Amino acid sequence: MLKDAPIIILDEATSSIDPENEYLIQRAISNLSKGKTVIIIAHRIVTIEEADQILVLDDGEIVQRGKHRDLIEEEGLYRSFMRIRDKVENWKI
């Protein structure tokens, strides 16, 4: 980002950040990367929900591709991740 590169690769850039700061960092990255190609490697869906294109990999192969809103509508690994995330986020003692 400092070199104004046309392609930016982020590998789990916010994986150990609390949700509030993660949101702020995501907004900053979004603003700083306008007009650039950004490749984000992520395990947390919130990190990629706004992406133009999401590639879902399973054992090194692309098994799904699309926007968040489309991927949650079709049966597959991405939707399965969403179901698990929802269960975990709504879990209470």
pLDDT tens, 12-65?
Answer: 777 777 878 888 888 887 887 788 898 888 877 878 888 899 999 999 999 999
- Strand ranges, E, within 3-42: 7-11, 37-41
Distances in Å between the alpha carbon of 76 and those of 38, 68, 71? 24, 12, 8
pLDDT at residue 62, as a whole number: 96
Q: Do 11 and 42 form a contact (C-beta atoms < 8 A)? A: no
Q: 72 pLDDT exceeds 90?
A: yes
Domain boundaries, the chain: 1-51, 52-93
User: Which pLDDT score is estimated for 25?
Assistant: 80
In the prediction, which pLDDT does 64 show? 97
Query: In the predicted model, is pLDDT for residue 1 greater than 70?
Result: no
Predicted confidence at residue 2, as pLDDT, reads 67
